[in-house]
Chains A and B, each alone.
Chain A
Amino acid sequence: MTYTLVLLRHGESDWNAKNLFTGWVDVALSEKGLAEAARGGELLTAAGVTPDVVHTSLLRRAITSANLALDAADRHWIPVKRSWRLNERHYGALQGKDKKQIRQEYGDEQFMLWRRSYDVPPPAIELGSEFSQDTDPRYAGQPPVLAECLKDVLERTLPYWHSDIVPDLQAGKTVLVAAHGNSIRAIVKYLDGIDDETIAGINIPTGIPLLYELDEQTLAPVTKGGTYLDPDAAAEAIKAVANQGR
């Protein structure tokens, strides 16, 4: 017997479309993103995958994606859990900035380091600035996050994986996690045992459910890397993500 986990990166957001660093800025899905989310639900139905519980971040692009996908899959009524620990990586002072412009200003090497290295965070965001979340009520009572590298994301996501997601899996539930490029990369790095260098080359496409069957004893993936429910679309989207900022 195996446990079933489905990872879903939100559909295209307004700022994905505009090629801006988003991070914890709470932008909406684009029209294309809304359609991608509904299609994510259709893919679940077609594959016979029926989520019993959904975990989302606190950001509307993940929440709306989950809502639309679950409605399309007739699973809108399942229990919902949310946590900031599934949020996108905090992009620090880069939040709200144009990716292409940052690339030109700081050069390819620095740009790639900030985007894809494991342990180099971008510069810290200024408290109280336009794209800082330090006064946002949803994060009240916790220390403000100023910038994160992927390692930081892993360190704040894994406690949630163990405390909230694993128990649902162990109860035999099909678990849907609706989250973000980097919080999903963090989970995938952990599950697949990907090393700190190789993770730089892993990109997650928007809106295509990624299915993992996990061994019930070890929680190790039966198939490393999981299976996208639309592998052709996933392969094309991954190529496009790799070309961002060009």
Chain B
Amino acid sequence: MLLRHGQSEGNAEGIFTGWRDVPLTELGLVQARRAGELLLAAGLLPDVVHTSLRRRAITTANIALDVADRHWIPVKRSWRLNERHYGALQGKDKKQVREQYGDDVFRAWRRSYEVAPPELEAEADTDPAGDPADPHARPEPHVLTEALRDVVARALPYWTDQIVPDLRTGEVVLVAAHGNSIRALLKYIDRIDDQAIAGLEIPNGIPLRYDLDEATLEPVVRGGSYLDPRAAAEAVAAAAFIGR
């Protein structure tokens, strides 16, 4: 089960968020509850949850699991499931960036496989990754920008090392993460090519179910199935207007 976080303040305000750690909006909290109800209604009770290190994914998982009465399952977290680092675009208004740089550049920065946005300036305070000398800092590297390809490169080792072993024990695994870390996993699972991945949007807060062949881990149905297909289709259609 893949679950993109509910609507965040960055989503609502049309701002590039990336590694910034913003909370859910009221709507996002409602979407997280609804995600839990969908899990419950589908009888899909997660045995373990994997989250990123950002509160929008963590809170979404906490609320959804509480509603599904699975709040007590084991939790694993990793920066490797974080959203893509949006570099210097983090904190910037999407509409303004699109108007300033034009549709083609905007689209390439948002959805292309290989193009990374300009690097975050080192002194910018929009990066919550901690001081490596601080023993209490978040365990994640300092990243200045990422393309989706970079997200695939850092998410796949976690898939292989942490998520696959849980799947192999027959557990229902919930991954609570972000638009681009989920796109990265799906690119791999569904073998989507570098061009086609640009067209893949992940809606907020709707669990996406994959049944994987136990021998090959290939999806039984390519693309998986959303637990609320109509809401997912509407949200994906609306995503085309982001930045407009």
A79 touches B77 (CB 8 A): yes
Give the interface size bracket for B toward A: 10 to 19
Comparing A55-63, A107-115, A117-125, A223-231, the segment that makes contact with chain B is A55-63
B136: interface (CB < 8 Å): yes
Complex Cα–Cα for A76 and B59 (A) = 9
Comparing B66-74, B188-196, B214-222, the segment that makes contact with chain A is B66-74
Known: A71-B59, A77-B53, A77-B54. A63 touches B72 (CB 8 A): yes
How many A residues face the partner with a CB closer than 8 A? 21
Complex Cα–Cα for A138 and B68 (A) = 13
Chain B positions within 8 Å of A76 at CB level: 55, 58-59
A77 in complex: contacting residue of B62, B135, B138, CB < 8 Å: B138
B75 touches A60 (CB 8 A): no
A82 in complex: contacting residue of B21, B54, B55, B74, CB < 8 Å: B74
Q: In the complex, which residues 72-102 of chain B have their Cβ closer than 8 Å to any Cβ of chain A? A: 72-75, 77
Complex Cα–Cα for A67 and B176 (A) = 15
A59 touches B59 (CB 8 A): no
A59 touches B66 (CB 8 A): no
Chain A positions within 8 Å of B138 at CB level: 77
Chain B positions within 8 Å of A134 at CB level: none
A172 touches B135 (CB 8 A): yes
Closest to A74 in B: B21
Complex Cα–Cα for A52 and B77 (A) = 13
A59 touches B58 (CB 8 A): no
Q: In the complex, which residues 40-73 of chain B have their Cβ closer than 8 Å to any Cβ of chain A? A: 45, 53-55, 58-59, 62, 66, 69, 71-73
B71 touches A60 (CB 8 A): yes
Q: In the complex, which residues 65-82 of chain A have their Cβ closer than 8 Å to any Cβ of chain B? A: 67, 71, 74, 76-80, 82
A203: interface (CB < 8 Å): no
Closest to A54 in B: B75
B136 touches A52 (CB 8 A): yes
A182: interface (CB < 8 Å): no
Report the 9 A-B pairs with minimum CB-CB distance, sorted nearest first.
A77-B53, A58-B72, A80-B75, A50-B136, A67-B62, A138-B72, A60-B71, A76-B55, A63-B71
Q: List 12 A-B contacts (CB under 8 A).
A: A52-B135, A58-B72, A63-B71, A64-B62, A67-B59, A76-B58, A78-B77, A80-B74, A80-B75, A82-B75, A137-B45, A138-B72
